[in-house]
Amino acid sequence: AQTVTQSQPEMSVQEAETVTLSCTYDTSENNYYLFWYKQPPSRQMILVIRQEAYKQQNATENRFSVNFQKAAKSFSLKISDSQLGDTAMYFCAFPQGGSEKLVFGKGMKLTVNP
Amino acid sequence: NAGVMQNPRHLVRRRGQEARLRCSPMKGHSHVYWYRQLPEEGLKFMVYLQKENIIDESGMPKERFSAEFPKEGPSILRIQQVVRGDSAAYFCASSPRQSDTGELFFGEGSRLTVL
């Protein structure tokens, strides 16, 4: 079975700090995509960043970057220069069996304090 | 270009009533997915539909739940004879076609409360 594990249920940081959210997964697939989604208090699911497993280069989107370790099946999200608007639940996810059937982790609640 | 539209945003039902949740995908998207989020949990896949076809319903409970995506109109997730355990946020997502990227575009969700 394909699973996604987010071991940190909650984190709190000060504005402008850097924070890393961890995610591990288990799959027998070789080529796949990995995603981090953000769910702010409005509850809408917003795609933060996507990583292609066959690419060695880590994905970066402005203040968001990933540390993808394929052999270790680890996919962590780094948020630099944290902002108050980053306060949200963050979910790691990847498609099951190469389909659009996303498997989500349980999420991590990030609070950015002023 | 409007995003995925879900309604109602909030729905309250008493035990035994029916709940209908609607989802209009993004313009040009023909694939619709329904996910359920229980409190303090991640999203769980329920069903994947294309126009007039159910492609994968492996996440749907065997009873009381059904989904459709007709040729015209929104996709509908129907829950008959609701129970308190059905209280959750139901998210719809869409994609333009089946792809291997897995990227989905989500609506804002419909929160069902069963009294």
Nearest partner of B106 among B61, B63, B58, B45, judged by Cα: B45
Interface of B with A in 53-112 (CB under 8 A): 56, 58-59, 89, 91, 93, 95, 98-109, 111
Neighbours of B95 (CB within 10 A): 20
Rounded Cα gap, residues B45 and B47, in angstroms: 6
Nearest partner of A47 among A61, A57, A30, judged by Cα: A61
Percent pLDDT > 90 in chain B is 76
Q: Do B91 and A94 touch (CB under 8 A)?
A: no
pLDDT, tens digit, 9 for 90 and up, residues A30-52: 778 899 999 998 888 899 999 98
pLDDT, tens digit, 9 for 90 and up, residues B64-94: 999 999 999 999 999 999 999 999 999 999 9
3-state secondary structure of B37: strand
Rounded Cα gap, residues B57 and B29, in angstroms: 19
* Nearest neighbour of A100 by CB, restricted to B59, B95, B109: B95
Which residues of A are less than 8 Å from B95 in CB distance? 100
pLDDT, tens digit, 9 for 90 and up, residues A81-111: 999 999 999 999 988 765 667 889 999 999 9
pLDDT average, residue stretch B32-44: 90
